[in-house]
Every structure is written in C-alpha cells, then in structure tokens.
Structure 1
Amino acid sequence: MTGAGGRAPRIVAIADTDSYVKWAAALLGAEGAGVDAALLVLDTPVVVSDTQLEAALAGSGLPHARVERISYAALTARVRQLRPDAVLLGARGPLVRVLAREIARLDPRPVLVTGLPGISIPATRKAVLYRLQCDLFVVHSRRELREFGALSARTGYAHRYALATLPFARGASAAPGVTAPRGSDLVFATQAKVPAAREDRLRVARMLVAAAEADPARRVVVKLRAAAGEHQTHVEQDGYPELLASLGPLPVNLVTSTEPMGRALESAEGLVTVSSTAAIEAIARGIPVIALDMFGVSARLINETLADADLLAGEADVIARRFRHPDPEWLDENYFHPPADDDWTDAVARLVARRAAGTLPPRAPLARRGGALRDAWERRVALGRSDTSAAGAVAWAVGVPARAAVRFTTRARRTLSRAAGAGTGAAVSTTAEQGEEAGDLVRGDADRRLRAGR
C-alpha cells in the first residue's frame, strides 16, 4: 500500500473506548512499516483510562510514541496538521456519524475507513446507517462480508466492504482448534450487556463459584473489562465483582483480573463466555472454549456464530471443565480465513490513489430533517459533556422537550394500536422501527445514549 509520492500511506485512527482503541491499535499496528500510523484517543465521557490504554496497546505493534490523547475541540486542527491519506474511525455508531461529518469537511478530504471491533454477526441496519459517510467498512470474516453485503443490498444503504483478519486472531496456529500447550486457569470473559438481566448474571456468578469449589487446586479467573471507576464501550449494570460479593465468602481460587486478555490467556486451560470476541482470541491460540447455552441462542446474545462453531455447553460442562474446540469446517468462514485473502489494505490503497487523482467522490450522510440543529444535537448526544459548544447547549435545550413529546406520542400510538385489536403486532412493530430509524433526536440523556449501539 502506498500513499502520495510512493511513501507509506499515513493513516490516523480516532478512537475512545476500550474495545475500539484496542481494535484500532491492533489493526494498524499489525501493518508495521506498511503504514505511517497514528492513534488519537478522543476525550469523551467513556474514554479509556491510562491503565486501559496500556492494556489496549499491549502487543498491538503500535508504538506508544504514535499515540496521543486529544479533546474534540482540538481534533479537526490536529487531523489537518497530520495530513493523513486516510482516517480510521473506531468508535460507536453515533460518534462515527459525528466524526465522519467533521472530517469530511477537510480539504483535501482523507479517505474515511470504519469497522467494528469484534464479532459482528448479526449484521445490523443501525451499524450500517451510522457509518454511511465512510468510504470503506472493514469486516473480519467471510460470513460478515456476505451478511453485511446482503444487508446493504436489501436496504439500499450501499457500502464498500473489505476483509481484514480480526487483529486478535492474527498469529493463529496453522490449524486453529488443535490442542495447544496451555495452563490451568478457567478464564471467564465478562461482557457488559450479555446477559442483561441481573438474575441471569447472578446465575453465571454462582456457576463460577461452583467451578472454583469443584477444583480448589485450579483458578477460576473472572476477566473484567474495566476496574472500578473505569468505563467500557457499553455501560455495565450489575458488574461481576458486586454480584460475586453478594454471594458471601468466595473460594480463594476464584479471582478477578483486569490484565490484558492476551496475558490472561497465557495461563488458560480454557475460556468461558457467552459471546465475547475473546473466544476468537482463544481459538487463535489453540485454547478450547465454552460458549454458554444457558440463555439460548439469539441475535440479542450475539452468540449465533459461536453456536454454529459447536462451542455451546452448559453449567455442568463448565464446572467439569469440558471445553470444546470449534468445528473445523466453521473456521474458514468465521475469522480464520487465509491471511492472503485480506483485501482491506488494497481497498484503502485504491481509494487513496483516487483521492490523489481528485476522483474520490464525497459520500453523503443519511438524509435527516433538522439541519444544523440536528447536527448539533447528534454531536451533543455522541460526545456528552465533552461537547462544550454553544450550539450543543442550544440543541440540548430544544431536543430534551422534543424527546419527551415524541415519547408521549409513541406511547399513545402504541396504546391505540393495542386497542384496535386486529393488526396490532404490525402497527406496534412499525412504530418501533420508525422510532429507531429516526435516530437519537429523542432518546436518552447524552452520557447514556453515547454508550448505546454499535
């Protein structure tokens, strides 16, 4: 891949939360001297702490000297100063929409690249809509490429998609799934939103206690995404430290850890999760996995692809440590395709060449009503208290009452639809879908909404 004048292309990544910072750093760091890479860690209410940043950079290949923290107010000027050929937007959907709009105003406009930091099946319309202004959408498996392409064809929201090996699956053994030398820890990869209900999370906590009690000579490690006071990409209710503490005295071999996942896996006998991307990281190292089947299989649980890998098992299997390797036929379609099939850098190179030739067309964002006020509202929602602009304050003052009014109207329509009897299901579904597609104008407070969605 080459930039202007035959040099390595300059790609600047912008990210804020733990999972996106880890993904962006690893995606660019793996390219080594093939790209002139830098990472701007954007200050938002959910930005990584110094400890989380250190963990995200561990093993990424991106030098610390190429990473800097930055405020939103200083972001555009800094990107202009860096003169990138391309900008990688690694953030939740609402923030990508705001950043793409801002970066697209630069002259010359850099190529805009985006993507998702882990297992992205099922492909969702929301993920596509938020990223419409980007030139390239990076996915990580043949299945994702196929399903996102089908979604775009079905909805008309066209994207260019390209394939990149999931950074955390790089370095996989020649035959992932073959038993590799390993340690003795049972590592449980926590997730903020899966499962969601407190009673379900308590059930998992009790299972982990039972697993520790079943074999006091071996550790059960609850791998946390954040320490107390730190933020995650998604807000977590009912964290496991609190749930475990509620169960009374715990076995001494049941421990919690906030070390990098790669380090935790170094001493793992097997990994347990519902649907964390850590499962892919474990498979890449030849470490067997259990994807919990306690709550079923659904898009909401993000575990359909792990079910297809024949990794599902229950509480008794966890306690007995009957871990599983994936079905070999699953690998090629799901995150373990040959690295030679990756084409994201080639796709970026073609777009950079078109930019240099002046033939890279702009991509319009999703058309919405509201103009500049709507833009200011979306910026305030995406950035929360990090948006200190006067326009954001005005938009917030106007938008909060509008949100209340739309919520009232939506509830009234649902009530009328239910009362109508026949056709109720279709009417309620249509109302809910329209509310979601309308976007963020009428939902949540800023610091809560910015954590939502992909």
Structure 2
Amino acid sequence: MTDGAGMRVVAIADADSFVKWAASLLGSVPGLQPQLVLVRTPLTVSAAQERAALAGTGLGVGDVTRLDFDRVADWLEAQRPDVVLLAGRGPFVRLLGRVVDALPHRPVTVSGLPGMAIPAQRGALDYRRHTDLMIVHSHRERRAFAELAERIGVRTPFALATLPFARGRERWGGDRLRESAAAAVLAGRPGGVALAERPEERIPAPVRRPGATDVVFAAQALVPARPEERAEIAAVLVRAAEADPARRIVVKLRSRPGEAETHLDRDPYTRLFDGRRPANLVFSHAPMATALESAAGLVTVSSTAAVEALAHGVPVIALDRFGVQKSLLNTVFIGSGLLGGAGEVVAGRFRRAHPAWLRDNYFHPEAESDWWDRVQDLVALRRAGALPHRAVPAARGGAWHEAWHRASVLGRVDRTLTGRLALAAGVPATRALSALRAGRRQTGQSTWTDPTTDYTLEPNPFQDSIRR
C-alpha cells in the first residue's frame, strides 16, 4: 500500500461501527496520521465504546476530537484536510457532505459502509452518490453496487478496500494452499463441495490456541427482527451452554445500558433469557478481536464478525434457522459453506469457508485493493484544480426540508426552532409514507424477495430510525 506521509486525512463519524471501520481503514495506511472527528448525535459512541472501537487500529484517544455539529465547518477550515472520510449512516453522510461542500477549500470526500454490504441497498448508494469515491470491500460488492448504480442511473466511482476486520491473516497458516482445503472438503466437511483447483489462492487454516473453547455469538440489532425469533436464538444458546458446561457461550454485545448503537436494538438479548441463563452463558462488551482470542467458534445470523472470525482463524456458523434471504442480510453466505442450523451450534460443529467464496467475498489479495491509490489520484486532481465538484444538491423541499434533515440526524442535539417544527410536522408524514411503501411491498414484487440479484431498489424493511 502506498505511503500516506504528508497527506492530511480526517474521518468524521458518530456511531460505533463506523468509528471502528474508519479508524481501522485509515490506520492501515503506512505513514498516515489521521484525525477522527466525532460529531455529537443520538448515535455518538460513549467513551467506553470509543476505546473498544479504536483498539488495535493505531489511533488513540489523542487522535479524536468531539464536536457539536455547528463547530465542524470552522474546525475543518482551520485544519484544511486533503481528504474527508464521511463515516456514518446515510443521512449523516448527506448532512456532513453539505458542510464539506461549503468549505472554501473543499477536500476530497470518501464514503463507505462499515461491514458486509450484500445486498447493495438503494438508500446506501443514494445517500453517498455525491461523494468523490465510495469504498466497497469485495469483488461481489463492487459488482452489486455497479449493477445498482446502472439500474438507478447513478454515476458513482467505486474503489476496493480490504475490509479492515479481514486482516490478521498471519494466523491463516499462509503456506497451506487450496488443494489442502479441497481435500478437507472431500473428506467430509459438513456442506462441502468439490472445487476447481487454483493453487495460487490461499485460505484460512485452523489455529489452535490453548484454552480456546468459547463459543461467541455476535448479536445484531436488525436481524432477526421478530421478537419470537430472537427468543428462539436465546433458547439455542441456552441449549449449547447446557450441552457442555466446560465451555463458555459468550454473547458479544455492542452497547451497555444507556449507550447507542448504529442500529436500534428493540429486543436486546440481555432481556431474552427469562432467568434461564446458565452460569457458563455470559455477556461481553469486549472488542470482537479480544473475544475471538479465546473462541473455538463464532455464531451469527449475518454479522460482519463472521469475516473477522475467519481472518483470525476461527470457524463460523452462519445461522440459517430462519431461512436465507435478503431481509436477513445473510444471502452473502450462499456458497460459503458456513450456513448451519441450531443442531450444529449446540454440537459445536463449526465451518470453514470455501476458498472460491473467500476470494470473491472479502478475502481478495491485498494487491487488488485500489482505494488508497484512487484517493491519492483524486487529491492530485484536486490540487491541480481539475477535480469535478460532486456537490450534494439542495433539498427539494427548501429550508424546511433542510431543517427536517438536520433535526433527523442530530435529534435532541439540534435545538433550533425550525428543527423542532420540522420534526413535529415531518414525523407523522414519514410514518404514513413508510406504511404506504410497506403496503406496496406486500402487494407487489419486491427486489427484497428476488433471489437472482445482489441489490435492492425499495426502502429496507427495518424499523430503524436514527432518532432515539
């Protein structure tokens, strides 16, 4: 990767997963000394979440500045960065994009998503379409977003990065080539298929650690959405704990009481065990990398933690108990060999991913990641005055729409009268519009139910407002 010395780069973020992603991404560039700005919104990380997010990234608390939204423009003008990485949910990116656009010396703007992004969602692209570059993390994602962009008539430059959490491949046992993996598959690994030989590809190999017996469950806020399904997962974890009292079942949580997450968790697992929690079923708020140090396997529905586990040599079960569909965000695992049911979780029969899937999904060779080269090219164009200005357009609804958008992102932090009035009028209107769209999805064909594509056109089905 090209050296980053002399480049002034600032990441602007708020929520936990975006803070971790931004710090990890920028921390991977040799010689770069990035700064991280945390804008105060309802999603902004606590001090404890910040420490967990920065762990292992190379950034420390001294690299972080917390600012109210109204101070961001002056701070950026004083710093005059070459690049601003906008790291937040879509409305956050759009709001801060307008701030950056108004700077006298506009920097290059970069955006992206903090984890696996299959299916590629229209909203994710729409909100980021006016940044100079959008980062994706796999060849499959690049194809999916390119197809989506063509479908909706958007011209957004994409660049490939290695997902920061897919590093740590020194644990893979790099001299083990694909033939050994194919042999293991043919010898009877669950879900195995024969694969064409391509010896140049390398795959994760088992790593044995003394005392690594934990089963780590990566909890998610969005999926599964139905409370009874989440309760069913809790029951499976209890069964797994009771089946082997010598191992710990670790429920890895993203937030403590009073803290926010990127997505709203309406049914946290801390409430789902009804007093039936065995002593060896524990909750953890440690960084995922720390939890994986003592893990014999990881369980999830569709968390990016699966990629992080594979990178650390930890096998995975992607739970398919409720099906495999876009609304569960788990179609990315089709063909991976990682899908498994409750019985596999209880028995501890964890899976290793098929090499062909790895190559197309997050474990491409580092040399194929071109995002930093693309960023440097854009900075050179900017310094030469030749970078086209991809400005975020003004809201179609004028000042009231702008006030609604700002208040929607900032929540109670926005104390303006216009913001309060816009929310008072806009919340009922948006709820009605969401209900109308949901009704249309139920009566018509939706790309959320189309198994032949890796993208969606309709709004996502999750009730996940930024307002908390």
State the TM bucket, normalised to the shorter chain: 0.7 to 0.9
TM-score, with length taken from structure 1: 0.88
SS in 1 for 2:130: coil
Question: After the TM superposition, which residues 114-129 of structure 1 pair with which residues of structure 2 at under 5 Å, given as runs?
Answer: 114-129=111-126
CA gap of 1:402–1:330, structure 2 versus 1, over 3 A, is closer
1:361 aligns with 2:388: yes
Q: Deviations over 1:286-324 (max 9, x none)?
A: 110000010100111111112321101111110100000
Check the 8 A contact 2:14/2:44 in 1, yes or no.
yes
The percent of aligned pairs where both chains have the same amino acid is 50
Q: Give the C-alpha shift of residue 372 in structure 1.
A: 2.2
CA gap of 1:436–1:241, structure 2 versus 1, over 3 A, is closer
Question: After the TM superposition, which residues 47-446 of structure 1 pair with which residues of structure 2 at under 5 Å, given as runs?
Answer: 47-172=44-169, 173=172, 174=174, 175-182=202-209, 183-244=212-273, 246=274, 248-365=275-392, 368-400=395-427, 402-403=429-430, 410=436, 425=444, 436=459
Distance 2:458 2:147 in 1: 23
Distance 2:250 2:439 in 1: 46
SS in 2 for 1:32: coil
Q: Give the C-alpha shift of residue 2 in structure 1.
A: 7.5
SS in 2 for 1:187: strand
Check the 8 A contact 2:130/2:156 in 1, yes or no.
no
Structure 1 alignment gaps of length 5 or more: 419-423, 438-442
Bigger Cα displacement from structure 2, 262-271 vs 62-71: 62-71
Check the 8 A contact 2:214/2:247 in 1, yes or no.
yes
**CA RMSD for the aligned pairs?**
2.7
Q: Give the C-alpha shift of residue 201 in structure 1.
A: 0.5
Distance 2:427 2:204 in 1: 51
Structure 2 alignment gaps of length 5 or more: 175-201, 449-455
Distance 1:426 1:363 in 2: 34
The aligned amino acid for 1:132 is R
CA gap of 1:322–1:414, structure 2 versus 1, over 3 A, is closer
CA gap of 1:406–1:321, structure 2 versus 1, over 3 A, is closer
Distance 1:321 1:401 in 2: 47
SS in 1 for 2:419: helix
Q: Deviations over 1:167-203 (max 9, x none)?
A: 0111213344311113100011100111111100010
Q: Give the C-alpha shift of residue 436 in structure 1.
A: 4.9
The residue number in structure 2 matching 1:421 is: none
Bigger Cα displacement from structure 2, 64-73 vs 253-262: 64-73
CA gap of 1:47–1:22, structure 2 versus 1, over 3 A, is same
Q: Deviations over 1:309-357 (max 9, x none)?
A: 1101111110100000000111111101111111111111111111101
Distance 1:373 1:284 in 2: 47
Check the 8 A contact 1:132/1:366 in 2, yes or no.
no
Bigger Cα displacement from structure 2, 305-314 vs 20-29: 305-314
Check the 8 A contact 1:235/1:451 in 2, yes or no.
no
Distance 1:121 1:327 in 2: 18
The aligned amino acid for 2:357 is W
Distance 2:305 2:420 in 1: 39
Distance 1:318 1:14 in 2: 39
Distance 1:238 1:401 in 2: 24
Runs of 4 or more above 4 Å deviation: 400-408, 433-437
Q: Give the C-alpha shift of residue 364 in structure 1.
A: 3.7
1:41 aligns with 2:38: yes
The aligned amino acid for 2:73 is T
Distance 1:386 1:303 in 2: 35
CA gap of 1:224–1:2, structure 2 versus 1, over 3 A, is closer
Distance 1:435 1:150 in 2: 15
The aligned amino acid for 1:358 is G
SS in 1 for 2:444: helix
The residue number in structure 1 matching 2:192 is: none
CA gap of 1:241–1:329, structure 2 versus 1, over 3 A, is same
Distance 1:434 1:147 in 2: 12
